[in-house]
Amino acid sequence: RTRLTYETRANLAKSPLAKRLFNLMANKQTNLCLAADLTKAADILDMAEKCGPYICLLKTHVDIVEDFSDSFISSLQTLAKQHNFVLMEDRKFADIGNTVSLQYSKGIYKISSWADLVTAHTLPGRSIVQGLKAALEGEERGVFLLAEMSSSGNLIDDKYKETSVKIATEGGDVDFVAGVVCQSSNCFAFPGLIQLTPGVKINENVDKLGQQYQTPEHVVKQLGADIAVVGRGILQASNPQQAAINYRDRLWAAYTERVAK
Ligand code: UP6
């Protein structure tokens, strides 16, 4: 899987969103996802404006935004169009199908109306995927399922990981699964799925709350990341735009080396 180019893998993808994202990455030459974990709408938009040209994906945690509004979402969508990146709400859904269906489409955030992609835990079983799908009214959307986590001491074991990958690759909902959030290249084999890997930072190994970091080269070449998620490595840099360029360049170089082998 990891030796194939993003173009080749776009043709193998079963999810329309995965296909779109693989092609976008290949054309724009970036495998960087910005985790825009900021609490003011204006700060997120400013970061999206500055980093937009260098990312394939912008990942939000919309429930940390203190001044959320519909106009924030429409501004974010405008920037996504302008700079050609995809929007992911990292909601990490984890409840029964009926509840996630409501959480996905209703409430203040109406996530399904704007987020191209969302994330979900597989803990409830495959009904979580069915529940998310049930909320849609024809929009082109996708989900990334968590099969591993970057935090130290997380409870995921090999069996949980294998079953999570089964949910992502077998059954009637595979067209809705765009990828897997995980930390290793042996997590899944199907090349039509995208591996999203968080826990990436150049200068640190850990934070104070259990996060574990690897370098851009390590996550792409050793851990098999197709898209690397960088949050504080960019957000807390003295020049975030320059940091985004730096991460993009290093991640893309690692990918080109990986597929050239
Ligand atoms: N994230 C992880 N680890 C996981 C899953 N998701 O860190 O296993 C998410 C976090 C955060 C981002 O919710 O948004 O990736 C990492 O941010 P950081 O680079 O600032 O640590």
Task: Provide ipTM, 2 decimals.
Answer: 0.99
C-alpha of residue 119 to centroid of ligand 1, in Å: 12
Whether residue 52 is annotated as binding a ligand: the answer is no
pLDDT of residue 214: 97
Ligand 1 proximity of 231 Cβ (cutoff 6 Å): yes
Q: Which residue has the least CA distance to atom 17 on ligand 1?
A: 231
Q: 178-224 pLDDT, tens per residue?
A: 999 999 999 999 999 999 999 999 998 999 999 999 999 999 999 99
HEC secondary structure over the chain: CCCCCHHHHHHHCCCHHHHHHHHHHHHHCCCEEEECCCCCHHHHHHHHHHHHHHCCEEEECHHHCCCCCHHHHHHHHHHHHHHCCEEEEEEEECCCHHHHHHHHHCCCCCHHHCCCEEEEECCCCCHHHHHHHHCCCCCCCEEEEECCCCECCCCCCHHHHHHHHHHHHCCCCCCCEEEEECCCCCCCCCCCCEEEECCECCCCCECCCCEECECHHHHHHHCCCCEEEECHHHHCCCCHHHHHHHHHHHHHHHHHHHHHC
The active-site residue out of 90, 116, 173, 226 is 90
| Beta bridge pairs of residue 145 | 120, 180
pLDDT of residue 261: 74
Q: Please, are residues 17 and 116 in contact by the beta-carbon 8 Å criterion?
A: yes
Whether residue 59 is annotated as binding a ligand: the answer is yes
Active site (annotated) includes residue 92: yes
Tell me how far apart the alpha carbons of residues 221 and 185 are, in angstroms, rounded to a whole number.
Answer: 9
Q: 81-108 pLDDT, tens per residue?
A: 999 999 999 999 999 999 999 999 999 9
- Given the CA of residue 148, which atom of ligand 1 is nearest to it? 8
Ligand 1 proximity of 211 Cβ (cutoff 6 Å): yes
pLDDT of residue 138: 95
pLDDT of residue 208: 95
Count CA within 13 A, CB hemisphere, residue 4.
18
Active site (annotated) includes residue 95: yes
Output the tens digit of pLDDT for each of the chain's 261 residues. Answer: 999 999 999 999 999 999 999 999 999 999 999 999 999 999 999 999 999 999 999 999 999 999 999 999 999 999 999 999 999 999 999 999 999 999 999 999 999 999 999 999 999 999 999 999 999 999 999 999 999 999 999 999 999 999 999 999 999 999 999 999 999 999 999 999 999 999 999 998 999 999 999 999 999 999 999 999 999 999 999 999 999 999 999 999 999 999 997
Active site (annotated) includes residue 46: no
Q: Which residue has the least CA distance to atom 14 on ligand 1?
A: 35
